[in-house]
Amino acid sequence: MGVLTKDQLAHIERRLHEERGRALRSLGLWDRMAKADRESGDSDLSSYTDHMADQGTEAMEREKAALFATKEGRYLYRIEEALRRLYNDPENFGRCHGTGNPIAFERLDALPHARYSIEYKRQLEEKGE
């Protein structure tokens, strides 16, 4: 028997698929926003504004959207890596990559792509990693 029961593994697999869907929807929203920006940029009037604060706000919103897309992209990568680990080695899924000890099921339920136990993660954060 592995670190997690079959029921727990099935639950974590469902959670990973839920999180993957959420990240994909977020990235899809980003793709639609970027496309709309490109299309509206073709019009001379669409980008015209006579107020510098509006221009600053618009630039800030674009930067925030780009950062969001990058963050979601990294999150999606971590989710897909967790699914690969789950499918390739279900017996060891849920084992801390730092200590080899089991990761608490509650932590995996909350953060299904977790690679580290909470104890080891805290140690890493204290070291500044």
Domains of the chain, residue spans: 6-45+56-94
Rounded CA-CA distance 93/83 in Å is: 10
Strand-pairing partners, residue 99, are: none
pLDDT tens per residue, range 67-106: 666 788 889 889 999 999 999 999 999 999 999 999 999 9
Range with lowest mean pLDDT among 1-15, 20-34, 41-55, 109-123: 41-55
**Number of C-alpha atoms within 13 angstroms, CB side, residue 26?**
18
pTM over 0.85: no
